[in-house]
Amino acid sequence: MQFSSPSLGNISAERVFKDINNFISQAPWDKYKIIVGTDSMTKHETVFVSAIVIHRQGRGARYYYRKESRRHINSLRQRIFYETALSLEISIHLKEFLATSSLLERVKLEVHVDIGNNGQTRDLIREIVGMVTGSGLVAKIKPDSFGATKVADRHTK
């Protein structure tokens, strides 16, 4: 998996994990949250952007993202499920990394999904949240899902 970082440019997933570890080791006494969210945009094709945000609570954050294009997907339901699957794939890799680096107990891991109680996605909440929590992760929906609705969304254009 290749990612991009506003400060580091194009980097591998392994380098992302090392950078997260370094970020945490700079202030190990602080509280941390790692957020994974995916958003998409459809024009001629569908562009999916997945973001990883490492948030030092109350003291800043940094993020990494990866972008991929797929054939045009018209179905909102299909896009939301694919967005969630991409976020879960990254989250599982992150969870493995956190477990091997002894950070799993110290860092809260959340999956932010681009669904909410208003609009067309409200009928998907139970299924999508169940998909995430069934994977052993915490799901956040709008308006609390900024990893998807703000960070990932910024790079879909």
User: What CATH number corresponds to the domain at position 114?
Assistant: 3.30.420
* β partners of residue 52: 36, 64
The residue type at 85: A
The pLDDT tens digits of the residues spanning 29-44 come to 999 999 999 999 999 9
Q: How many domains does the chain have?
A: 1
The model's pTM is 0.95
**pLDDT band with cut points at 50, 70 and 90 for residue 102:** confident
**pLDDT band with cut points at 50, 70 and 90 for residue 157:** confident
- CA dist 131 and 91 (Å) reads 13
- CA dist 16 and 23 (Å) reads 10
User: Please, are residues 16 and 3 in contact by the beta-carbon 8 Å criterion?
Assistant: yes
The pLDDT tens digits of the residues spanning 56-73 come to 999 999 999 999 999 999
Range of the domain at 19: 2-154
